[in-house]
Amino acid sequence: MEKIDGVESLNNVLLIGMINMKDLLDEALLRLGHLEVQVEISLPDEHGCLQILQIHTNKMKENSFLALDVNLQEHGM
């Protein structure tokens, strides 16, 4: 079994890595036996962007930093 430099064999350890520029990823990491699972997550659609914006502005509304009548869907979405 191949090893990643600097990582010792440990039980019940999950190693997660992320990159936003897949073309810069070393091809050696993608060879069989290096990474068991690869998941590609695409950019969110308009609805997903709105959900993300709502999550990140929820506390702003609760703490009166954003008016309660602001319609996030109407502004920029």
Dihedral sign, CA of 20, 22, 27, 30?
positive
Q: Where is pLDDT greater, at 76 or 44?
A: 44
Q: Confirm if 15 and 4 have CB atoms less than 8 A apart.
A: yes
pLDDT of residue 75: 57
| Chain CA centroid to CA 35, Å | 18
- pLDDT tens digit sequence for 31-49: 777 777 788 888 999 999 9
For 74, phi then psi, to 5°, come to -75, -35
User: Nearest Cα to 67, choosing from 53, 57, 77, 76?
Assistant: 57
Percent of the chain's residues with pLDDT above 90:
16
| pTM greater than the 0.75 cutoff | no
Q: Where is pLDDT greater, at 11 or 5?
A: 11
Cα distance between residue 27 and residue 39, in whole Å? 16
Mean of per-residue pLDDT scores for the chain: 80
